[in-house]
Amino acid sequence: MTSKKAILFIIDGLGDLPTPKTPLQAAKKPNLDRLAKNGCTGLLSPLGRGVVPGSDTSHLRLLGYDPEAFYCGRGPLEALGVGMKLEEGDVAFRANFATVKNGQVVDRRAGRIPTSEARELEKYLSTKIEDVEIIFKHSVQHRGVVVFRGSGLSPMVSDTDPHGEGQVAECIPCDQIGEASKTARIVNKYMKFAIQRLSEVPENKERIRKNLPPANALLLRGAGAYKKVPSIIERFGLNSVCIAGGALYRGVATYIGMDVYMVLGDPSTGMIKLEEKVKAVENAIKNYDFIFLHVKATDNYGHDGDFKGKKETIEKIDKEIIPVLERSGAYLIITGDHSTPCSRREHSGHEVPILIYGRDERPDKVKKFDEISCMAGGLGHIEGKDVMPIILNLIGKAEKYGS
């Protein structure tokens, strides 16, 4: 074998349903189809047949981490993804800037406040309540994370995001243990603190003067408690790196001890251009055994019901990324973390096409990379739990079971 490296390329929300074609079927993607022709294909259920995967649990599973044992909730993964250092027991939430008027949430995204303005508000939002240190960090646009650090906290509390119309929801303890009660009490005090504080700051007075919705409240969701887990190098001996724009994916990678390649994204959206990712891959392949490469846009188009956008993104990926991956000489594993059918505008439990390519690997008879063609693929129907063992086997890093 000339190559002992592997690239896992996750095209987010890749799978779709036929209307009458799927975006993958409709896209012109000669490079992906050539890899399918020369490689081996199949269908992947990240978390089991029919199960609708979250992005966090699915990525953990594909990277060899069973979410039943290793899932810590979304909040800590997002916090790690925006570069926060977490300590065992920290309870983290995703946070949105929102606009509240007469006690009602009138805009869950504070008029989609731009990154540059929202960042200015970060400095007002860290504080201490009782014995708990609270750290707010802004990420992009209206988004950020909040970390609660102190003794006796629990992630078993409800969101304050009403996920629709209404008031800022009261944080409610979800179990009868005192830690959840304490956490909920502090979260509720923090919600009042944030409204009080944000109502006074000059940045919001300026927004009101300009007739823009002020970012005068925070909405929290996705509580989770950080715990340290054995790293991907400890578990699999993989010297590995993540190339991704989205905070969640960088967070998952950080959580399992991967390096995260610092690629400069668009300062206002965090989005990274494909050509930047391509450069990152070309550099990273020199120093790492295993690259986890992620593209998010396909999923966004699925959520927007934008068939054309999804199809064109696939075509762009095919043109700009696939040849670079092929030239790298690494084993390629190309798939998605779940289906996001444009007709449903949300994640679904439908299988995702998967393609494995390596010069010395077994080819199947499939000639195209799409949901229907891959039904006849030589990999058959695999699950997320199968992916890391397959990768380790490809690059000769699997430990023999028995002797």
Q: Footprint of a copy of itself on this chain (CB under 8 A)? A: 1, 17-19, 22, 40, 43, 47-58, 67, 71, 74, 222, 343-344, 347-350, 360-365, 371-372, 375-382, 386, 388-393, 396, 398-403
**DSSP string of 73-142?**
-HHHHHHHHTT----TT-EEEEEEEEEEETTEEEETTTTT--HHHHHHHGGGS-EEETTEEEEEEE-STT
Structural contact between residues 358 and 332, judged by C-beta atoms closer than 8 angstroms: yes
Q: How far is the CB of 402 from a copy of itself (least distance, A)?
A: 3
Nearer to a copy of itself, 123 or 362 (CB): 362
Q: How far is the CB of 55 from a copy of itself (least distance, A)?
A: 7
Nearer to a copy of itself, 57 or 141 (CB): 57
Residue 117 in tokens: 């303005």
CB neighbour class for 293 (10 Å; exposed up to 12, middle 13-18, buried from 19) = buried
| C-alpha 61, offset from chain centre | 12
Q: What are phi and psi of 44, to 5 degrees?
A: -115, 130
Give helix 297-304 / helix 307-320 axis angle, nearest 10°.
170
Residue 36 in tokens: 């399918």
Nearer to a copy of itself, 237 or 380 (CB): 380
Beta bridge mates, 339: 14, 348
Q: How far is the CB of 265 from a copy of itself (least distance, A)?
A: 22
Nearer to a copy of itself, 121 or 252 (CB): 252
CB neighbour class for 181 (10 Å; exposed up to 12, middle 13-18, buried from 19) = middle
Nearer to a copy of itself, 103 or 389 (CB): 389
Structural contact between residues 36 and 366, judged by C-beta atoms closer than 8 angstroms: yes
Q: How far is the CB of 388 from a copy of itself (least distance, A)?
A: 8
Q: How far is the CB of 148 from a copy of itself (least distance, A)?
A: 19
Nearer to a copy of itself, 85 or 362 (CB): 362
Q: How far is the CB of 242 from a copy of itself (least distance, A)?
A: 18
